Structure 1
């Protein structure tokens, strides 16, 4: 046991949040799970309170989940945590790193600027431009800028006809003024999650569709399976996550007929896929990493 006080930002009662809190408690004897919805920032007193606990007085905070669903308000929660960070609390991953990932467009631009292969992508506020992109791509997945696990994504095919497509695009735009769409690629019902801790590769799992759904997420019926990547694929994933300087992450990769492509780098990474698909006890490994960094 140590005298370190390291809290977990997450969703109380959720498996990934609780298993990380368990791992930290086992090593430190201290347990604190924080839902950002219950915090209050007092800038005059430079405090960030969660019930009776001032988060700015802790030794460390691990952000496992900043909110149940991503939205612009997620950015506000990260800004609040910057106050604790400025007070000397070590945060994993840093707010700067996560701020560059929560917005899908920010992540995409960073990956593109680093020369990482991605699906053909169009970002526009114009219905006409979006329609032209779908017709050019043959089919596209429209994605909200703030979402996880494929929530809110809409598949549109060029063969639906211009009138029907325009109506679907207008409906999507009603809730997403800036439209982000990527060319639909053939993944043969499988994509990969490649796990990194402190920039070091840990292992890979596959998400495999079990239905006729166009995506492989567990939310849509997919399941985890082991996968053994070659050295080139590991190096591609390493390059993809490197610009973000994350303590723990999962790189989402698709294998296409034209080679591998990167879909995104996760702001928080997935524990369950690592455990069930790759037999990696990510929570324990992450807790050890955090404790070593806080002590340093």
Structure 2
């Protein structure tokens, strides 16, 4: 399941409840589009803002409505004890894999992060994807740490940050990491703006924000890269360049994608947990125009 397009849907919610009907509708759209896997309760899914019981329920709900599409669920939490509890809940829900980021309030050391993965992978019966996202988690993995963790049991993929815009630099970065990790561990790119470049550089999977809302657009880029049509993958990505720019202007991909879901009536407003807000003002107006221009729906 750690190849192709892994689509990360929003978890629409307000301060009173999770909007389960909208969430199921988003999951069903992914299944119908034919994504390769669903990354439920990732950063786009606001997992860090949910209780254990909410996360367990949503894991079950995702598996129930994903049909035959593999589901990966985030188990990140501040304490190892809680990560293990979330891992148990996810496995009981029938997920195909789990995603783990090193969350912290105090800055973690490499020794502490390795021990987190060492303990968790020893207590898993499903594969694990390592979530490397220094922009959100404020921890930067070294290649040496990735290599140590990649040799632990059940580790099957690494979700790296966006790659360099230069195809040569991107390929070099992927090859450096590939040389250090086992062959069965795939490398997945995140950072949607650089996804085409990352896939063309040798990443086997795209862990995608826009894939969770616009799976057809993300699949077109992914499939082009998979069949070796690098120019087409880059061309399709370039068509979405105005959206990538809005991600920067709008305070990140989550806020912009949430606003898009609201504008398209795929989620009720508001759809993010407070104090987060979807993109507002000029960014929201430009997004409305962009959705119409690019025919994203």
* TM-score normalised by structure 1 residue count: 0.29
Larger Rg: 1
Q: Higher RCO, 1 or 2 (CA under 8 Å, sep at least 6)?
A: 2
Higher helix share: 2
